[in-house]
Amino acid sequence: MTNIQLFAIHRGAQLSDTDMQTALQTLPLEDQQRIMRYRRWEDRQSGLLAAKLARKMLSDHLGVAASELQIGRSDLGRPYVQGLTQWQGDFNVSHSGDWIFGGITTQGVLGVDVEGLREIEMDVSKHCYCPEERDELYSLHGTEQNAFFYVLWTLKEAYIKAIGTGLSTPLTSFGFDIPSLKAGRVLLKDESGTPQPHWHFQRYDVDDAYRFAICSDQPNLPSSITLLTRDEVLN
Ligand SMILES: CC(C)(COP(=O)(O)OP(=O)(O)OC[C@H]1O[C@@H](n2cnc3c(N)ncnc32)[C@H](O)[C@@H]1OP(=O)(O)O)[C@@H](O)C(=O)NCCC(=O)NCCS
């Protein structure tokens, strides 16, 4: 049976330069360079923790030393394990604000997303949400509207990350059934409105100021996320 595991790490206070350097040096040069391109220390630290989390999840699951894993990226940026033709699983990571979120599945595909709640620009919804989704969004106000905006956002991101296409898939080319969402279920619909029940979604409450969501082609998604300390991924 498919096993999916989810992990979250709080980014926490700034690591010392020594700890940051020590951890960076355990990663391939291209990862070090990608992480050091972030201008803010917060983003560098989150990028580092996400890269370490990905390697820890894979290493624990595959029984391969983290330093021996070769992680490539598709043309659309999707990370994958190179050279493991037998492995039928998948992994994915996300980082936003204080949180780093990651998941691994033994079968099929997985996309994960975390987003911090920020003030929203309703204009953005025209480019991201379908008419039915926008109608619901406009019918809400204040914190409810803000929360719904990010529920949709994280579900959409989790889906485009599960299929690996990222933003090359227009976010208005698929949507979520509103009556189902209101009833606490998530049902994906394609551009023509046809339900796609073979895609499974789950949302998680970890921090009131954030929304967490995952998407997979596998059923029976986990009901909770395991919290890890920074030390558990850095050491
Ligand atoms: C890159 C993208 C896939 C996710 O971006 P994001 O939400 O800003 O970032 P997240 O932290 O959730 O995810 C980034 C991670 O996803 C992974 N990733 C990148 N491209 C990916 C792809 N095509 N498929 C799956 N995973 C991908 C990477 O591991 C990346 O982290 P890393 O570079 O540190 O290793 C893409 O959807 C994007 O740029 N989104 C912009 C946000 C936006 O405008 N959203 C509108 C929603 S309404």
Q: Write down all domains in the chain, each with its CATH number in brackets.
A: 4-234 (3.90.470.20)
* Distance from Cα 95 to the centre of ligand 1, integer Å: 9
- Give me the residues paired with residue 72 across strands: 80
Asked whether 125 and 149 are in contact (CB, 8 A), the reply is yes
Angle between helices 142-162 and 131-139 (to 10 degrees): 150
Shortest-distance atom of ligand 1 to CA 163: 24
pLDDT above 90 covers a percentage of the chain that reads 94
Exposure letters 52-61 (e unless 16+ CB within 10 A, then b): bbbbbbbeeb
pLDDT band at residue 94, thresholds of 50, 70 and 90? very high
> Does the pLDDT at position 1 exceed 90?
no
- 212 CB less than 6 Å from ligand 1? no
CA–CA separation, 32 vs 156, rounded Å? 29
CA–CA separation, 175 vs 164, rounded Å? 17
Residue-level pLDDT at 122: 85
- 230 CB less than 6 Å from ligand 1? no
- 153 CB less than 6 Å from ligand 1? yes
Angle between helices 29-36 and 17-24 (to 10 degrees): 140
